[in-house]
Amino acid sequence: MGRVDNKEVVEKERQATLLVNPRPVNEEFTLYSFPSKNMEYMVSGTPVLTTRLPGMPEEYYNYVYTIGGEGAGAVTEALKKLLEKPQEELFKKGEAARRFVLNKKNNVLQAERIKRLLV
């Protein structure tokens, strides 16, 4: 699609059945990495499938689906399992993720946490 407006990207994310963000887990940078793409996906309200990264806080895993291993086979297996689930179950997971991010991880709350660290 080439370069598209953010509004169109968000619209497409909301129309999707599932958003997938596989990341390598054995790289050193993942110890300190929290993919902003996961947060963006979660806010869309569409369910997310991602890898378990050491840098992603445990509380987020209540709101996303995870890939159970490395490589294409693990991604394929996770996709098969998820796409067999009822659409309503996927929708509820996506909506729960959206509420979690908007209510618990929004910019105002995150700035407050940073401010408390600095004081």
Task: Tell me the backbone φ, ψ of residue 70, rounded to 5 degrees.
Answer: -105, 150
Q: Which domain holds residue 109?
A: 6-118
Sequence-distant contacts of 27-31: CB under 8 A, at least 24 apart? 30/54, 30/55, 31/55
In a domain, 93, yes or no: yes
Residue 39 is which amino acid? Answer: M
Mean pLDDT over 85-107 rounds to 95
**CB 43 within 8 Å of CB 102:** yes
Residue 19, pLDDT > 80, answer yes
Q: Enter the pTM of the model.
A: 0.88
Q: How many domains is the chain built from?
A: 1
**DSSP reduced 3-state for 43:** helix
Residue 30, pLDDT > 80, answer no
Mean pLDDT over 87-93 rounds to 96
Residue 21 to residues 28, 30, 34, 91, 111: CA-CA distances in angstroms?
A: 18, 14, 12, 18, 26
In a domain, 44, yes or no: yes
In a domain, 1, yes or no: no
